[in-house]
Structure 1
Amino acid sequence: MTTFEELGVSQPLRKAVEELGFEYPMPVQERVIPRLLGDANDIIALAQTGTGKTAAFGLPLLQRIDPADHTPQALILAPTRELCLQIGSDLADFSKYIPDVKVLPVYGGSSIESQIRGLKKGVQIIVATPGRLIDLIKRGVVRLDGVHTVVLDEADEMLNMGFLDSIEEILSNIPADRKMLLFSATMPPDILKIAKRYMKDYEELVVGTRNEGAENVRHIYYMVNARDKYLALKRVVDNSPNIYAIVFCRTRRDTQEIADNLIRDGYNAEALHGDLSQQQRDIVMKKFRDRVVSILVATDVAARGLDVDNLTHVINYGLPDDTAVYTHRSGRTGRAGKSGVSIAIIHSREKGKMREIERIIGKTFEHKDVPTPEHIIEKQLYNLADRIERVKVNETEIAPYLSGISRKLEWLSEEDLLKRVISLEFNRLLDYYKDAPKIDFIDAKPSRSERKARKAAAEREHERPKNDREKDRRTAERGFERVYVNIGKRDGFFAGNLIDMLNRLINGKRVDVGRIDLLPGYTLFDVKKSDARKVVGALTGAEFYGKRLHSEIADPERDYSRIAEKRKNKAKKTAS
């Protein structure tokens, strides 16, 4: 098996890589590294996400840097802030034992002044988004006439995002005798246009097959009525007890609504899309990377640069129009030799789109029935049994407490004790699925009993209101109280933020939240009557990104929309 030393990687870089846990190079690294260290032509490398491409270009790039020269010698362009930061972090790790090499990520959404200060201190490698780099060039604070290597990472996505003109402008500021590398998951026609225009005698390297998904990924589809997609999503999640997944949606609105619904229904989920502020996006991504959140509901653009290992599932809440997008989504699971699952929840009108994806990636989707309640409960129970078997028991630490607990529970038989352990974990699941209907797609017109069952299921699922008039209701369900808080969607406030605030601000037992209705300038939500005053007291005076909150028991006579409009107009006047 080839080693990094045999590829020509220097000792300081090898030492850093070994400490990061890389024993042997991955296929893309074996093919790219020797060419970059030698006198090879320009390179187009077609490699899926997770194949080790950052090290493939990063290690030889670092080795070719002159540490004594503090001007930019290499430029890496990436489509998103997140990918910039990820690449910058990886290069910093690789160059741990080359202290004089400086890497600077520059991107929008962050202070340009601090980036200018970093450039003035001297850097050899710039990792940039195209828009911010052009701004810095126009300000005259960055010069690229000493750059000898240019890398375009995720070039297909940069083109999808409309960066072609920006890339051309940037390349016009770089010497013509540069070495250029272009990394892409797919090979759309525009990639070839760039290659022919800006690359000299380029060599094309293909790791895997063009437009093919990862080899270790199973492709599964569930076909349901469009109205049942959310119900099917929950079944799929419940059927995977240790799920760690990204759910991809087509629009920002769908992304937020599905995440809100999952959070409201007790799932550990967050949304990631372009309507969030950069600070909110950073918080969400950190929680997902740290596994504080197990389900990330995201748009394709927002998830770019989110490099996460060990995803168990990628779930397509409907199929994208572009096969390349599906390939990129599915390539996020099944990495580094591990198995992964790419699931598509589709309706009948998407079947043709699925067949086209199958044709291009050369794989067949497996059809599966949506998991039944009985199967889900059985799977969850066996998972609990497995966790009980594997739990680490610290005999010394628990010994002082065992006798007291044993006396308290000695009246229970083994069977009674087992039932109680199971009930602690499963009462919610058992209650939820007690009368759940079958939701698999049925080609024929549904019968009257099926329509009735679906209607009942929709009511249990708390289907979202159709308009703001319904959302603005002031009365709560029986046993609950309706609460108002003076912040809404226009402020970037969503259901996940509300749940986070309540968990953070209220000590003791977790507050049960019922229906949450988000309006542009305010939010109404239900809590148990016994918790209402405590919730109002906790929220009033708290802050959300600098905005002071006011909360009260919802008053049927108050015109909250008018109050929100006044607040909006006042803010406009203050800003002007």
Structure 2
Amino acid sequence: MSELMTGQSFADLGLPVAVLNQIESMGFTAPTPIQQQSIPALLNGKNVLGEAQTGTGKTAAFGLPGLTLIDAKLRQTQMLVVAPTRELAIQVAEALAEFGRQTRGLEVATVYGGAAFGPQIKALRTGAQIIVGTPGRLLDMLNKGVLKLDALRMAVLDEADEMLNMGFIDDIETIMGAVPSTSQRALFSATMPSAIRRLAKTFLVNSAGDEPVNIKIAPKAATKSTIRQRAWQVRGLTKMAALTRLLETLEYQRVLIFVRTRSDTMELTELLQKSGFKASPLSGDLNQTQREQTVNQLRSGHIEILVATDVVARGLDVPEITHVINYDLPGDNESYVHRIGRTGRAGRSGEAILFYRPREKHLLRQYERLTNSTIEFFEVPNAEQLSAHRQQILQDSIVAKVSSGGLEQMAQIVANMQEQTGLSAEQIAVALLAEQQAARPLVVPADPPPRKFADRPERGERGDRGRQEKRPGRDRRDANIDFDTYQIQVGREHGARPQDIVGAIANEADIDSKFIGQIQLFDNHSLVELPKDMPTGVLRILQRARVRQQQMGMELSDKTIAARPRKPRGERSGPKGFAGKPRQGQGRGGERRGGERRGRNFQ
């Protein structure tokens, strides 16, 4: 929720007691403008068209009234939320689960691409009342007959303009066409392009012919002038290795690390504790008493590092937090503002650090505009710098110890050692240093070289809200990348599409879309271009990865893919604003969002 609060309270909006008690326990006291207007309208059975920027609290605007419609005893889908990306879907689902924590029997399930069908199908069949998903996977579930909307009471399109920019409009129309006419509907979007307005006109008019309540919240930038923002591009090192180096070299008082899911809080905390850091998790798995105990331990210094998810960290007020680290970027800009707002409190300065992958770089521009500040780029300490830091720390410790005096007994022990062993004081000191570095090396092994394809300059970065900037050589064969052709054991007979293949490769091997070349589909296999000299470990991962439940079995091929001639600009078809969206049956690709592919000009 946003920090732009009104004078009204949630109790004034007519929410049920269980929901009010829960949001109060989470530290929320007053609704934001979008919540103040949307919640009463939805509680009164109206459909809502909301135009509001990220950072205004839209999740609670539809989530809280949606929870009032749920019958937890009925094991059927009663609320459906469609989100553009896997990250946003996970975040919205966790927020709804947290809001409904005191509703006994409530189940929330997430459905998104790039993950196995089995667990998601099981969640739908066991009767989760709230489903949050991305358009492509939701459409798959509808076509399989697994997602049943007969008992649906509310359908929500979240970040509708983002789904439009990503090419999901056809899928959205199909999904919304399956929503019963009796269901309430809500559409939230930061902007209202003509295609979204047409969608709203088609699907938000209720069965009685009533127009939706149109709510428009003027954008307002959040200024975080006391917070320095820095970003590191994930390459060469793993995120965990980079994190431990930062924590070892930063001068911090308390650190708050944000990850995406509850399980991530546990896993990352365990790794940090093994590395010697005083860390603890903060997630929805903890009850209110446990959370309060954890926060008190952070304030007292018994814990120095807290690993948390977005939902539970909202409202966290610990002035001693000097650093916020975005280990995983949030699913929306609203959450980013809340995250970095946990530092720089009570007039103090703070620092926010982001770990981002090349495909996420466009988000940094949005963060800069939203916070009215600049994000600096930096590199984590390399092996040589880390070694120098550790040696300096040890040296300073030794100097301080000598200066403090009282070492006469130790000096006598060294003298006895010299006399008994014939070793010099220097040899004894060297041996002690060697033993000292057994647990934490004073000379860190050299860093592995980054992947060749991850070091190439980024061309034509994606602009705001999915806009593709012009760039030369749009045909990937014209790019300054040497490709090999690989064969995978997935083809048309398995229902595979180019975007499915791209999504699987990008997700599993963490390869940015610009390093995936052309794809050619055959009946029982496909060819795909990937950069030359693929690391063995990456290839091994892709051999096991699955597309449409079929293992890729990727292997190098001696075949080549002929480049398709591109039509002159005047001959291309497709609605304006979709950058040449291909017709049905053609491969579509572009920027990967949440493991699903929709977009532009991918062959």
What TM-score bracket applies, with the shorter chain setting the length? 0.3 to 0.5
Report 1 or 2 for greater relative contact order, CA contacts < 8 Å, sequence distance ≥ 6.
2
